[in-house]
Amino acid sequence: MAKVMECILVPDDETLPKIHLDDGKLVTLGRSPATQVRCKTCARQQVQVIANYEKKQLQLTQIGKNPSRVSGRLLEPQKTCILNPKEKFSLLRNSFGYEVQFLSQSSQDQITSKRRYEDIDSCTEAEERKRMKPTLHITMQSVLLKTPYRVIKSLEEPNYNGWTDFRGLLIYTSDNANPSTKVVIFSNQLGIGNKMVNKESFKKKITNIINSLGVPVQAYIATNRDIYRKPFIGMWQYLIWKANNAMTIDLETSFFVGAGKSTFVRNYLSPRGYVDVNRDKLKSWQKCVSVCTVLLDRGSSVVIDNTNPDKFSRKRYIDCARSKKIPIRCFIFTTLEEIAKHNNKIREATAEEGYQSVTEIAFNTFKFDYLLSYNIVIFSIHLSLLCLVF
C-alpha cells in the first residue's frame, strides 16, 4: 500500500491557493491571506480541519457563525464531520469550495513539477534541486542594505546569471545554494515595477551584496502590488511550494531576522525567570504599576513589556524600583519607522478579529513623545523596561 505523503485541499476557484495539511495538525481556515478569501461573510475562523494520513480522512469542524457545506449538506457551529478522499466542502453555503486529496508517494512524484502553483514554469528548478531544511529569513531594508559599499566595491566582477523573473517576482539563487542550510531574502521593491528603479542596476547591487556574504542565498523580490508583495505570503509560498524541491522547511531550526519587544521578552527574558507586565493585557498603566509593585515585593524579576516612549511613562517604573532599591535596565529597539508600519500591516492581515490597528496619529504621537526625551536612565538589572523606538 502506497504511503500517504501529503493532504491537499484543492480549491474549486483556480485563482485561490491550494492548502497543504500536515498529519494530525489542527488548522483553522477562513478569511485570511493564507486562503486569500476576502469575503467578510466568511469568519477568520470559519472551520477547523485535521488530516489523518493513516486513515486518509479529514476531520472538519465548523466554528464560524455562517453555515459551511459538506457534500451537499449544511453544517452548524461546533458540528464535526469526516471527509474521505475526493469529497468536497465549502467554507460558506455556496462559496469557496475545496476537494480533499491525499497524495501517495507515486501520485506525488507524478505532479512534483506542478504540485502547488500549476501555472508556475520551471525557471529555477536546476538551481533548486538540493534539499534544504533550516533557513534564515531576513528582510532587506536596514539589514543587508547597511553593507558598507567599500566592501562591495572591492569584489571582482560577479556573475549575474542567477536571476530569473516570474511575472514580476524576481528570484535569485546563488551558485553555492546547495548545502543543508540557506539564507532567504524577502523584499518589496515597488519602485522596480513602477519604473522608478532600474531593474538591472538593482540586480547587480543585490548580487554584489550576496556575494560579499559568502553564504548560500535565495532572494525573492516583489516588484508589483500582487500576492507576492508582503505582508501577503506569496513569496513564502513560492519558496516552500516550488523552490525547495518538495522539502519541508524545519521551522523549529529556522528563524526570522527582526523581532519586536514582545518576541524579545518571550525568547530571552521569560526563559530567565522574568515576569511579563504587559499593558495590552492589563489595559492601563495603573494596573501595570500595581502588578509590578506586587511582583517586586515577592522578589520576582519583572519586565515591563510596553513602549514607554516618554520620560513620564518610564518614571513610574523607575520610581517603583528606586523605592525598593532595585536596579533597572532599559532596552531600546531602534526599529525603522517603515519597518514598524510594515509590521502593523502584517498584524492587520493576520491577527484575529478585534485587533486594533495602530493609526497614523498614534505613530506620529509616539515619535513626538520620544523626541522630547533624551535622558533615558539605564541601571543594571532586575527590573527591565522595553522601549520601542523608530
* Count of other CB atoms within 10 angstroms of residue 225: 13
pTM above 0.75, yes or no: no
Report the distance separating Cα 239 and Cα 217, nearest Å. 12
The angle subtended at Cα 251 by Cα 247 and Cα 252, nearest 5°, is: 125
pLDDT of residue 149: 38
| Average predicted confidence (pLDDT) for the chain | 75
φ and ψ at residue 41, rounded to 5 degrees: -70, -25
The domain spans of the chain are: 4-110, 135-256, 261-389
Q: 311-323 vs 285-297: helix axis angle to the nearest 10? A: 20
pLDDT tens digits along 337-389:
777 787 777 666 655 556 677 888 888 888 777 755 544 333 333 455 554 43
Query: How many alpha carbons fall within 13 Å on the CB side of residue 216?
Result: 16
Do the domains spanning 135-256 and 261-389 agree at the CATH topology level?
yes
C-alpha cell of 325? 532599591
Q: Give pLDDT < 50 ranges for the chain.
A: 107-133, 142-143, 145-158, 179, 374-382, 387-390
pLDDT at 111: 42
* Residues 6+ positions from 93 with CB-CB distance below 8 Å: 66, 67, 68, 69, 74
Question: Which CATH number fits the domain 261-389, given the four candidates 2.50.20.10, 3.20.20.150, 1.10.357.10, 3.40.50.300?
Answer: 3.40.50.300
Determine the CATH number of domain 4-110. Answer: 2.60.200.20
135-256: CATH class: alpha beta
